Amino acid sequence: MSQKSRRVRAASLQACAAIFAALGQETRLSLVTKLSEGRPCSISQLTGESKLTRQAVTRHLRVLEEAGLVHSTPSGRECMFELDTRPFKDIGAYLEFVSEQCDQTLRRSKAFVER
């Protein structure tokens, strides 16, 4: 593996780690679920039925935004938040890679045991 491909792979792993870290909290997962409906939402809409304050929701949205999962657009006095699905495709590809590695390991283990 070339040094350039190692750097690209390391950057990809760092991006995946940031995404997993951002998703590793129940409130943020809940916000992602609400935003996955496909329409932009304001903080007021996202706070609606929640017991969280607007400030708490804002902090969670900023974490999601820093990880590239959400982007905001100013709209009058509010910001509208939307889910960006591209990082989820990257995570999906990473998880498929890990799954394939596990499958290969299991096949090798089975072949070894069956000898």
pLDDT at residue 9, rounded to an integer: 64
The kind and range of the H/E element at 70 are strand 70-75
Task: Identify the CATH number of the domain in which residue 66 sits.
Answer: 1.10.10.10
Note whether residue 41 is domain-resident: yes
Note whether residue 92 is domain-resident: no
Note whether residue 24 is domain-resident: yes
The residue ranges of the chain whose pLDDT is under 70 are: 1-11
pLDDT at residue 27, rounded to an integer: 93
Domain count, the chain: 1
Domain span at residue 37? 3-84
Specify the pTM. Answer: 0.77
Sign of CA dihedral 45, 53, 25, 71: positive
Note whether residue 93 is domain-resident: no
pLDDT at residue 115, rounded to an integer: 81
